């Protein structure tokens, strides 16, 4: 049996090279450069070279949203049906608008309604009419590639028939000054693979691919395979030998049943930083005995961060369609240490296969293989999936304490709302691993540490799936505040590295030497459920064990501005839940199974029968109270009213990852059966409000 093919039926792109496929193809063929001194927002110092998108129409939405919507419109302009899912990779969300509002001193939370990363995916889903999953991937500069890898897995498993996936990021003060603080920006413009290279040119853009399992009349190409890995080495620097990059490329080739010599062209990540280019060169040489033609387009388009992997996937499809290879713009003198010969000029030739690399902070690596339509046979299906995941160990953090203290209160319907002091969280962690970390990453590490300990396993999980609504608020706040206080002179590079949403997942990987799949999801109040759905999609029966963690920190300044469910008169709450789990079935262990995830709720189409469960743990964010209560009433009216319902946020307090704590509570109820009243041995976790999602916990 073969893996179903994945066709690219639509493409959309905007960057510093132009708006649309035609403009982008022409710019690449003519070897033009989109990098110039930054003029997008005012600076107190002479501007460094950057790559701002051109021909972007005015929009009332933040710039990242506008970039994503522009790409989505082009990718879907011939669609007769809405895609069944949307997956967007992004790191910035609405931060540029947030920065302007903070500078202006705005305190109205309504002004910050588009700050969250999830709002980009939601805006795209709204525009194209998608009522299914609208997921957000945030794995730093590999986000766009990882979003496409997740979309590919969902299509190959038959979960959906069509997905609109890719990435978008805008320039912002955070990214512009962040990379500058790390001394990773080349004042002469990006020169990938050049002997005298000294950094990147930060850019922006958006690119989306409409992927379908059904062959369209004229597909652009096929997405053949993807390979994901994690360096588990350093928060910002690549593994010096390129081990994670090599693993991602090998996985992609193996998944497509292709040999290295069958690849026509390699699109290098090629950021122009000394360490990144050298590590990637070593990885390429280890995989390819005789590397095919290769180059990086970041000397032309800049480094577009989360959009980079998607922009370069669209570029790969353009190359296959138009049969040319792009030059390595900015390269004047090849670095002999790299032992590679990048293309110095645009080259006309037939292209049937492209391998495209994307790497990011946290050691996140993504490799995509794009091929000419019907040129390669579909590989044989070798990996199987049991239905659901087995939970090996759990952990949680609440205002009441760690797992034991929290569960003791929750299982007796007592409140656990609040914030656990940081020293109590840190006490269970190795001091050397947390010295420079703030609250968000320390909580994530603690949750993984305790879940692994609870599993009683000698082997640490190798895959990590983390969900967070708001990410590292402390680092983001401190970086921007320092930027303003020092007149843009001395923002903290450590705060910038720690500000990415996947910072906690990267630290977990380092602590446990976890080199497998590492994906951070950011879906607002449904981030934990998105992480769990992602694990369900990506893990096979043969996959090593995995962590699934949901975590959010409460921040006194940012949380009331960003999260509409948080009332400024209430005490801040935060925490999360962690799980060690496996696809394998194990007798006597709790199984977890995502049932559905919808943007719009129709009670008539819901197949979940509430009366088949002993208990419903329902999460209704305070901002969506009326809507959530109506959805719950509709569901119970249709499926039965006898099952008791616990509104768990009344116990946990309001924060995005509260559902992860409720999930831990479900596991402990089933394992302990405290009141001996669980006849069905099944508990339903419901997320209600802007989205509706259902997750089943059961034990046999």
- Alpha helical stretches, state H, 212-273: 243-255
Q: In this structure, what token pair is assigned to residue 248?
A: 């991602």
Q: In this structure, what token pair is assigned to residue 383?
A: 């990996």
From the list 653, 681, 429, 393, the residue with the least C-alpha distance to 548 is 393
Show Cβ contacts of residue 192 under 8 Å, excluding neighbours closer than 6 positions.
268, 270, 271, 272, 277, 295, 296, 298, 299, 328, 330, 331, 342
As a 3-state breakdown, the chain gives helix, strand, coil percent values, each rounded to 5, of 35, 20, 40
Chain centre to alpha carbon of residue 323? 32
- List own/partner pairs for 488-491 with CB under 8 A and 24 or more apart: 488/43, 488/44, 488/45, 488/177, 491/177, 491/178, 491/181
> How many of the other CB atoms lie within 10 Å of CB of 157?
16
Q: Indicate the SS3 state at residue 371.
A: strand
- Between β-strands 36-37 and 49-50, what pairing exists: parallel, antiparallel or unpaired? antiparallel
d(CA 303, CA 285): 23
Report, as residue numbers or ranges, the catalytic residues: 141, 269, 303
Show Cβ contacts of residue 441 under 8 Å, excluding neighbours closer than 6 positions.
434, 472, 498, 503, 504, 507
Show Cβ contacts of residue 305 under 8 Å, excluding neighbours closer than 6 positions.
91, 92, 140, 141, 143, 169, 175, 202, 203, 204
Show Cβ contacts of residue 596 under 8 Å, excluding neighbours closer than 6 positions.
606, 607, 608, 692, 693, 694
CB 52 within 8 A of CB 171: yes
Give bridge partners of residue 576 from the DSSP assignment: 397, 551
Q: Is 260 exposed, middle or buried (0-12, 13-18, 19+ CB in 10 A)?
A: middle
Q: What are the Cα distances from residue 646, in Å, to 41, 449, 662, 692?
A: 48, 29, 10, 16
Q: Indicate the SS3 state at residue 383.
A: coil
Q: Indicate the SS3 state at residue 7.
A: strand
Show Cβ contacts of residue 138 under 8 Å, excluding neighbours closer than 6 positions.
89, 90, 91, 117, 306, 471, 500, 501, 502, 520, 521, 522
Tell me the three-class secondary structure of 161-178, residue by residue: CEEEEEEEECCCHHHHHH
CB 413 within 8 A of CB 645: no
């Amino acid at each position: 049996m073969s893996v179903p093919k994945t066709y690219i039926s639509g493409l959309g792109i905007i960057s510093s090279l132009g708006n649309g496929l035609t403009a982008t193809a022409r710019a690449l063929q003519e070897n033009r450069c989109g990098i110039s001194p930054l003029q997008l927002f005012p600076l107190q110092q002479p501007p460094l070279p950057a790559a701002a998108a051109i021909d972007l129409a005015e929009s009332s939405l933040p710039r990242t949203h506008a970039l994503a919507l522009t790409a989505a419109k082009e990718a879907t302009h011939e669609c007769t049906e809405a895609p069944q899912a949307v997956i967007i990779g992004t790191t910035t969300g609405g931060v540029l608008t947030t920065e302007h509002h903070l500078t202006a001193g705005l305190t109205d939370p309504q002004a910050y309604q588009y700050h969250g990363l999830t709002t980009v995916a939601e805006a795209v889903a709204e525009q194209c009419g998608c009522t299914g999953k609208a997921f957000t991937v945030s794995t730093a500069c590999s986000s766009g590639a990882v979003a496409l890898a997740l979309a590919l897995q969902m299509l190959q498993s038959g979960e959906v028939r069509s997905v609109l996936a890719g990435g978008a990021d805008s320039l912002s003060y955070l990214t512009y000054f962040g990379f500058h603080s790390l001394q990773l920006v080349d004042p002469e413009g990006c020169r990938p693979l050049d002997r005298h290279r000294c950094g990147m040119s930060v850019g922006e853009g958006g690119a989306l691919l409409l992927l379908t399992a059904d062959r369209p009349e004229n597909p652009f190409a096929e997405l053949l395979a993807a390979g994901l890995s994690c360096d588990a080495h350093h928060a910002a620097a690549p593994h010096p030998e390129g081990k994670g990059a090599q693993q991602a490329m090998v996985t992609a080739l193996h998944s497509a049943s292709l040999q290295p010599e069958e690849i026509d062209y390699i699109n290098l990540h090629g950021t122009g930083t000394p360490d990144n280019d050298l590590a990637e060169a070593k990885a390429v040489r280890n995989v390819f005995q005789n590397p095919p033609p290769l180059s990086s387009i970041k000397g032309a388009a800049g480094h577009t961060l989360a959009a980079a992997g998607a922009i370069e996937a669209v570029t790969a499809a353009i190359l296959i369609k138009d049969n040319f290879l792009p030059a390595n713009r900015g390269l004047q003198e090849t670095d002999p240490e790299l032992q590679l010969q990048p293309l110095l000029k645009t080259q006309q030739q037939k292209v049937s296969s492209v391998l495209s690399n994307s790497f990011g902070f946290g050691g996140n690596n993504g490799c995509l293989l794009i091929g000419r339509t019907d040129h390669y046979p579909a590989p044989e299906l070798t990996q199987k999936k049991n239905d659901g995941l087995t939970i090996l160990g759990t952990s949680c953090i609440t205002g009441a304490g760690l797992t034991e203290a929290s569960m003791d209160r929750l299982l007796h319907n007592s409140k656990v709302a609040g914030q656990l002091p940081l020293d109590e969280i840190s006490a269970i962690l190795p001091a050397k691993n947390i010295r420079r970390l703030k609250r968000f990453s320390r909580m994530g590490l603690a949750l993984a540490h305790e879940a692994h300990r609870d599993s009683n396993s000698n082997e640490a999980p190798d895959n990590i799936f983390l969900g967070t609504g708001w990410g590292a608020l402390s680092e983001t706040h401190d970086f921007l505040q320092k930027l303003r206080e020092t007149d843009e002179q001395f923002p903290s590079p450590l705060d910038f590295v720690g500000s990415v949403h996947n910072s906690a997942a990267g630290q977990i990987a380092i602590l446990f030497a976890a080199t497998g799949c590492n994906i951070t999801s950011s879906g607002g109040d449904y981030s934990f459920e998105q992480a769990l759905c992602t694990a369900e999609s990506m893990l096979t029966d043969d996959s090593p064990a995995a962590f699934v963690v949901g975590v959010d920190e409460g921040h006194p300044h940012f949380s009331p501005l960003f999260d509409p469910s948080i009332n400024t008169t209430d005490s801040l709450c935060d925490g999360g839940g962690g799980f060690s789990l496996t696809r394998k079935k194990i007798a006597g262990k709790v199984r977890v199974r995502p049932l559905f995830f919808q943007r719009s709720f129709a009670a008539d189409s819901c197949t979940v029968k509430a009366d088949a469960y002993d208990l419903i743990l329902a999460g209704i964010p305070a901002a969506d109270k009326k809507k959530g209560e109506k959805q719950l009433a509709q569901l119970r009216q249709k499926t039965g009213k006898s099952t008791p319902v616990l509104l768990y946020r009344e116990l946990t307090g309001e924060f995005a990852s509260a559902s992860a704590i409720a999930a831990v509570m479900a596991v402990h109820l089933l394992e302990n059966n405290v009141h001996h009243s669980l006849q069905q041995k099944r508990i339903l976790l419901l997320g209600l409000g802007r989205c509706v999602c259902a997750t089943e916990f059961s034990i046999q």
